[in-house]
Amino acid sequence: MRFTSGPGASPTRRGPALGGKPFTTGRLAAFRRMTGRHPVVVDAVFATALLVPAATHLLRHAPHPSVLAWALQAGLFLPLAWRRRAPLATFTLVAGVAFAQWLSGVLLPAGDFALLIALYTVAAYASPRRMLLAAGTLEAGVAMATGQWAPPGEGVKMFVLLSGMTTAAAVIGLNIRTRRAYLASLEDRAARLERERDQQAQIAVAAERARIAREMHDIVTHSLSVIVALADGASAAIVSAPEQASDALDKASGMGRQALGEMRRLVGVLRSDGSGEDTDVPLAGTGAIRHPQPGIGQLDDLLRQVRAAGLPTEFVVEGRAPALQPGAQLAIYRVIQEALTNTRRHAGPDATARVRLRYTAQAIDIEVTDDGHGPVADARQEGHGITGMRERAAIYGGEVTAGPLPAAGWRVHATFALTAAEGRT
């Protein structure tokens, strides 16, 4: 006998099946489900199938059986139709008919097989306590039958044989009960694991959506705000200072290409094979290049863009930068980028900003402040940008606070745990 299986196919057992066709476990499972839905009908057919050979055996050994013999024969097998619906009641009824048979002295060797089936059913479907009660009752019946019908000198042999059959029926029933419980536990575990897998997949999808939303927000808001500021400056200087206007337009064009490259990179991550490698590849039709993800090494370029957009910014670094993993560097870059973007949008004219990046033995400390004045600065509210900063910091065991300064302006403060940012455990 050989078992084979393949992707997407259920295991197949090949053997002497009808017509040479394989018998699949799927068909067996369907048959079991059908018999489980109609237990009384199936057991009635089973009891009838047992009654026919028993009646044939009775006719062979007694050509003219009495009405009592026929009644006892039917009384032993017909109750088996309810054996799974009411195991102990069925056994009690069959045992009562067998006791009546013993009292009447009618010998029905094939009919007593019904007692073993009833005991097996109690062991397989009822509690162990009821199984012991049924087994003890049947063992008492074995002793009574041996004393009445055993041939001279064969009593011990007959008792041992019948007791062995009783024990075998009980043990087989217990094994079936244990196997059924084991299979049920496996099915329950498989269903539970499948639910957990689906939940984990949903959580992963939600986390990936949040990550992409943060990236899209940071890229779009920063790039567009810089482009708008450069375009406004070029528009104001196009008559009085055409060279400065041309330079501003060139910077806006470069910023647009850079933003387009980052957007293409982000979309490429969604379509990639998961290797996570970034290579410098020209983007067809744009002349832009897909660069690696920005990190702390690109902060100087970021500040040059901010200053070119009209926001004077001071950059202070304290301590020595450790070897950070790329994800942590990207998170630090995006936090500073978003804080400066909010400053340009809300701090008002003539505002200045200061970025302080401090490395300590335990954490990375980021502080972005500005001296913005007026109702625009006071109207700043927490939106997607601050939420994104907090989510980025939380990944690396940190936190972000944002709020107005006592005198004037706004302060964004973020911390990243150094052990998480370095990838240490």
**Does the residue 206 lie in any domain?**
no
Range of the domain at 363: 294-425
Q: For the chain, how long is the longest CA-to-CA vector?
A: 133
Are 142 and 163 in contact by the 8 Å Cβ rule? The answer is yes
In this structure, are 176 and 299 located in the same domain?
A: no
**Does the residue 242 lie in any domain?**
no
Nearest to 115 by CA among 131, 91, 139, 132: 91
pLDDT of residue 13: 43
| pLDDT band, very low/low/confident/very high, at 317 (cuts 50, 70, 90) | very high
Burial 13-28 (b: 16+ CB within 10 A, else e): eeeeeeeeeeebeeee
CATH of the domain at 318: 3.30.565.10
**Does the residue 339 lie in any domain?**
yes
Does residue 266 register a pLDDT over 70?
A: no
Provide the number of structural domains found in the chain: 2
Which domain-ending residue is among 144, 165, 197? 197
* Virtual torsion, Cα 255, 257, 259, 265, nearest 10 deg: -150
Which domain-ending residue is among 145, 166, 197? 197
In this structure, are 181 and 298 located in the same domain?
A: no
In this structure, are 32 and 141 located in the same domain?
A: yes
Which domain-ending residue is among 197, 218, 248? 197
Q: Pick from 12-26, 164-178, 198-212 the range whose average pLDDT is largest.
A: 164-178
**Does the residue 401 lie in any domain?**
yes
In this structure, are 191 and 333 located in the same domain?
A: no
**Does the residue 209 lie in any domain?**
no
In this structure, are 299 and 193 located in the same domain?
A: no
**Does the residue 10 lie in any domain?**
no
In this structure, are 180 and 299 located in the same domain?
A: no
Does residue 7 register a pLDDT over 60?
A: no
The residue assigned the tokens 């008002």 is 348
Digit-coded pLDDT (tens) for 24-53: 456 666 666 666 677 778 777 877 777 777
Does residue 184 register a pLDDT over 60?
A: yes
On average, the pLDDT of the chain sits at: 77
Structure-block tokens of residue 205: 């999808």
Are 313 and 340 in contact by the 8 Å Cβ rule? The answer is yes
Which has the minimum average pLDDT: 35-49, 187-201, 254-268, 274-288?
A: 274-288
**Does the residue 103 lie in any domain?**
yes
**Does the residue 421 lie in any domain?**
yes
Digit-coded pLDDT (tens) for 345-398: 888 878 899 999 999 988 899 999 998 874 444 445 556 678 888 888 888 888
DSSP secondary structure, 290-306, as one string: EPPPP-GGGHHHHHHHH
Are 339 and 383 in contact by the 8 Å Cβ rule? The answer is no
Nearest to 329 by CA among 231, 193, 195, 423: 423
Does residue 63 register a pLDDT over 90?
A: no
